[in-house]
Amino acid sequence: MSNKPVPRVRVPANAKKDELIEIKTLISHEMESGQRKDSAGATIPRKIINTFTAVFNGKTVFEATWHPAISANPYQSFFYKAAESGEFTFQWKDDDGSVYETKAKLTVA
């Protein structure tokens, strides 16, 4: 896979105050471990997403460190207690320094 990684998130648009909501994320990424060889016998360089972070209104609410054993197209979900309206920022950091980001709004009533 040589396409640019595509992040996708599923956040409810609306929630009741103090409701526990599930956030689901997925990023299309090959997660190359650096242990395989190409058809010419050369080692394919390691290229994995090593950090996933979810920030809500400027405060980190979830963070994960990933390692080469994580599968391609990694899926991450977590729960969040909706206390106020605002915006999530989701960020994936790659070994090569690339950063992939997407945002989602949440309205709490």
pLDDT reported for residue 33: 87
Question: Which sequence spans correspond to the domains of the chain?
Answer: 6-108
The rounded distance, in Å, linking the Cα atoms of 106 and 10 is: 11
Q: Which residues on adjacent β-strands are paired with residue 55?
A: 60, 89
Architecture of domain 6-108: Sandwich (2.60)
pLDDT digits (tens, 9 = 90+) for 86-104: 999 999 999 999 999 999 9
pLDDT reported for residue 4: 86
Segments of the chain with pLDDT less than 70:
1-2
Tokens of 77: 């979900």
